[in-house]
Amino acid sequence: MEFLNELNDAQREAVLHVNGPNMIIAGAGSGKTRVLTYKIAYMISQGIDPFNILSLTFTNKAAREMKERVSSKIGSGNARNLWMGTFHSVFAKILRIEHSKIGYPANFTIYDSDDSKSLIKTILKEFSLDPKIYKPNLVYSRISSAKNNLISAEAYEKNTTIVGDDARSNKPLIYKVYQSYQNRCFAAGAMDFDDLLYKMNILLRDDAQALVKYQSKFKYILVDEFQDTNFSQLTILKRLAAKFENICVVGDDAQSIYAFRGANIENILNFKKMYTDTAVYKLEQNYRSTQYIVNAANSIIKHNSEQLKKEVWTSNVEGEKIKVFRTNSDNEEAAAIANELFSLEMRNHSGYDSYAILYRTNAQSRALEEALRRSNIPYRIYGGLSFYHRKEIKDLLAYYRLALNQKDEEAFKRAVNYPARGIGKTTIDKILLTAASNNMSLWEVVTNSNLRNIGIANATMNKLLGFIELIHSFKAIAENLTSFEAGEKIAASSGLLKELYSDKSVEGLNRYENIQELISGLKDFTENQKEQGLDNKLADFMNDVALLTDQDNESDDDIVKVTLMTIHASKGLEFPYVFVAGLEENLFPSQLSINSRSDLEEERRLFYVAITRAMNRAYLSFALTRFKWGNLNHCEPSRFIEEIDARYLDYPEMELFKSKPSIPKKTIPLKKPTAAFDPPTRLKKVSDSQKVSIHTDSDNSKLFVGAEVEHLRFGKGKITKLEGVSPNKKATVVFNNIGEKQLLLKFAKLKLL
């Protein structure tokens, strides 16, 4: 067990605690993955059977990396026997084993969000519901939220509060859509991602034998990123751990940023209340970032009241202060970031993959992309359209899905007339109507019904019979050949390869090459399965593909590129140089979050995550104007900049950071707003010159302790303390409405009363 010597004292203590509930609070960059890995390796070295260890992560990529690290410590044989993977992949495996107990086929299909929304659109059309009111994304979100709170379709209808909320939002029939959606998924032998958790809960709740079986099997449970768990996941964990209570959770409440997905920070905050004898270990040494970055992040997160107290520190170099830049417009901001990034690369030659530009919303990427293109800087959008969501790939995967599960409604609709075989929309609508009316799958309609009775002509009926025979042949191929052999044969026999090959356009060539890449992926999968002695059928490949997460979908190429991504997508990643753009009120923090303390604290945690992605240097930027919905909006700096201790910030001369292209022609001059421009109410009292300027030393020199002042956002107050020197001079002000605040005078725009 020499590997234990590679840990610091806090890490080692956490690793050595095996029995009973324990919680590891892991600050950013503190080596939590190492601790989890070494803990599993230590447990196996102490004679614990790897078959009895359940380790849950949030991405397949994290699970693979952990398994590889465990293998390097204790051998691949033991690591192979671990139950390690994402919540969804592990529970999908269990549900396939126990499928008969929940009434599903073993080869049930897993619908992705596109499949689910497509089905919802079909149901809305059948119910004659206006998709502009019943927006598919919103309906999907409501159903997802219900499942994650373990509310069935029947319980949803009976819940007067939920139904009342729907009625007040002019969507009183969501319950009916939910019921139909669940029935259709069941008829199609399909589960969506939320079902994998929901049905696992149903299995453990309703089948005592299954509950005892998996409680006895999983004697030791380890959970990564515990702060991101939702109610459904927590309920499963509590049920599985009830017998032995050997449960270890690892996470950081300061990085809980997925409330919009149902994640509940209370899970980690209240863990000690759930298990009163919990041992708590804190990993507070940051190995990732410089001292300035770590200290700045600490000064941000201390403003949150809901947190588990810890003080992250580092022995890394002091580094450089975080630079804060102001520009006149969002386009100037983007160009300025591109200029600074280019200058850094020319000096450091670290490669463009050392840089990340983070933003609060996807819409911000447009200006950034244009600026990078103008500077000939290669970039990639992280979290964009993944390989497996391209149309041609989903078309071929639909044939694979049908070969495995003929009841798959969404796959049937996608494949039945592509490539075109003369089965038109009218025919498909008739089949859909018959299926919905008789609670049947589409496959059952076309194979068991007299198609003439539903108005399908003989010629079309013959084409349908040809399609049915084709899928039957694919079923035999999938059952008898390896994943690669089956995938290759189905691609050729479906007609897709011929269809795409005949398109000689650039787009057609790209689509054909993507299909070839998928076949290559099947070959790689076959070889990997063979090496590991694992099952190698098309069903195994499709199960792997269905459970890919956002991070797993990222493709690699040989070109070194700058990474553009939302802050949410950046969690778990790190870069030597990080730019955080758009630090403006109502953008970051979001306008939707500023009226709720819990929402605002989540936004602050998001900012904390952004800062802690940086290893060597971090940059913050904001614009004084930004276009939104075609209108020019005046902006003010984010409160989060003010919350960073001024000792860790640097404000370089703005002229050095300005872009030469400046504001594009369409930008409205700041000092002469057009009649169409209507600034926010709280800015209307302020003169144009105040809107675009930051206080100079001469402005600040008039301020004194005891002075009555007014702030645009915080209202009236009195200065109780002045400290520091320009450009980082700071005032402590007690405001009449909100109490004491510390403000950087460079940004505060205080008006002397």
> 11, 32, 340, 749: which is the annotated catalytic residue?
32
State yes or no: is 225 an active-site residue. Answer: yes
Specify the amino acid at residue 577.
Y
State yes or no: is 613 an active-site residue. Answer: yes
> 98, 225, 252, 395: which is the annotated catalytic residue?
225
524 contact partners, CB below 8 Å, separation of at least 6:
none
380 contact partners, CB below 8 Å, separation of at least 6:
561, 562, 563, 564
Backbone phi, then psi, for 680, in 5-degree steps? Answer: -55, 150
Please say whether the beta carbons of 358 and 580 come within 8 A: yes
Cα dist. 35→23, 41, 82, 90, 614 in Å? 12, 10, 17, 21, 21
Please say whether the beta carbons of 148 and 262 come within 8 A: yes
Please say whether the beta carbons of 750 and 733 come within 8 A: yes
Q: What is the DSSP letter of 4?
A: G
Sign of the alpha-carbon torsion through 254, 260, 265, 271:
negative
> 59, 255, 460, 526: which is the annotated catalytic residue?
255
Specify the amino acid at residue 153.
A
For β-strands 247-251 and 220-223, DSSP reports them as: parallel
Q: What is the DSSP letter of 648?
A: G
Q: Taking CA 685 as the corner, what is the angle to CA 683 and CA 690, rounded to the nearest 5 degrees?
A: 70
Sign of the alpha-carbon torsion through 598, 600, 603, 604:
negative
DSSP for 538-597, written as a single string: HHHHHHHHHT--TGGG----SS--EEEEEHHHHTT--EEEEEE---BTBBTTBTTTTT-H
State yes or no: is 224 an active-site residue. Answer: yes
Pairwise CA distance, residues 118 & 122, whole Å? 6
> 112, 166, 192, 224: which is the annotated catalytic residue?
224
> 69, 414, 613, 730: which is the annotated catalytic residue?
613
Pairwise CA distance, residues 124 & 134, whole Å? 8
Pairwise CA distance, residues 162 & 52, whole Å? 40
> 33, 447, 667, 742: which is the annotated catalytic residue?
33
Pairwise CA distance, residues 523 & 367, whole Å? 40
DSSP SS3 for 399? helix
Cα dist. 238→56, 94, 285 in Å? 14, 17, 30
Pairwise CA distance, residues 395 & 414, whole Å? 7
Q: Closest by alpha carbon to 617, among 383, 251, 337?
A: 337
Q: Taking CA 595 as the corner, what is the angle to CA 590 and CA 601, rounded to the nearest 5 degrees?
A: 65
Specify the amino acid at residue 139.
V
34 contact partners, CB below 8 Å, separation of at least 6:
6, 7, 11, 69
Query: Which residues are designated catalytic?
Result: 32-33, 224-225, 255, 613
